[in-house]
Amino acid sequence: MMKSVLLAAALLGVFSTAALGDDRYVSRPPVVLSPDLAAPWIMQLGGGNVRPVVYQRPVMVQQRGLFAPRAVRRAPAAQPVSAINPGVPAIRGRIEPQFLPQMVEYQTKERPGTIVIDTNNRFLYLVMDNGKARRYGVGVGKPGFEWAGAHTITRKAEWPDWTPPSEMIGREAAKGHYLPARMDGGPENPLGARAMYLGSTLYRIHGTNAPWTIGSAVSSGCIRLRNEDVVDLYERVKVGTRVIVI
């Protein structure tokens, strides 16, 4: 009798363990890595120089079959990468086709190599030979910040830093927008990838971190291009180039 009871208890334990083993993998708990760089385990791995990798949760897709459905991992879609600064995700934004760079017929008395900026139509023309020009879409000064005149490019800079004028800092602060006293060059900088400084003014032809604004009147007087376009223009002109804003 005692042997029978012991045998029954042993068999019950085996089946219970197997059942618990099966249940243990029915719903696996998610593993989330701490993004806190100051977390103790991060500090032990190498201090602040170690950046934890935080993966997006995979999308779980149920597939029907002869047996129980199984979960299939689907990798997240790849993010577009900037061709100018590899490793930095490109900023999404649409631009109308007419504002993309293109060669056009352009009759002018200005010499080849001159830049003419048509602020009304939001185009920058680099005058070429034989009545042609290379045309780029631009963003221009918003209402109250329009201007016209002729200057020369006095300086060129790659990934320029940005020091907002005190007037701009005060103007934006009155609207509740607080600007930094200075900002290093980089993809987040409003001056973008390149800048060409006009005369002794505060105006520049420069790139942007907001390419969807090309074709609009949004700036404080500067002429902005998409980063890939300002890089192209930058390589085609030199210090001393005449710039006419109309």
Catalytic residues: 206, 222
Backbone angles phi, psi at 64, to 5 degrees: -85, 145
Torsion-angle region of residue 210: left (phi > 0), alpha (psi -120 to 50) or beta? beta
Q: Which two tokens stand for residue 232?
A: 């192209």
Give 111's DSSP letter.
Answer: P
Gap between the Cα atoms of 141 and 119, Å rounded = 8
181 C-beta neighbours (distance < 10 Å), count: 8
Give 89's DSSP letter.
Answer: B
Do residues 33 and 45 touch, judged by C-beta distance below 8 A? no
Gap between the Cα atoms of 172 and 194, Å rounded = 24
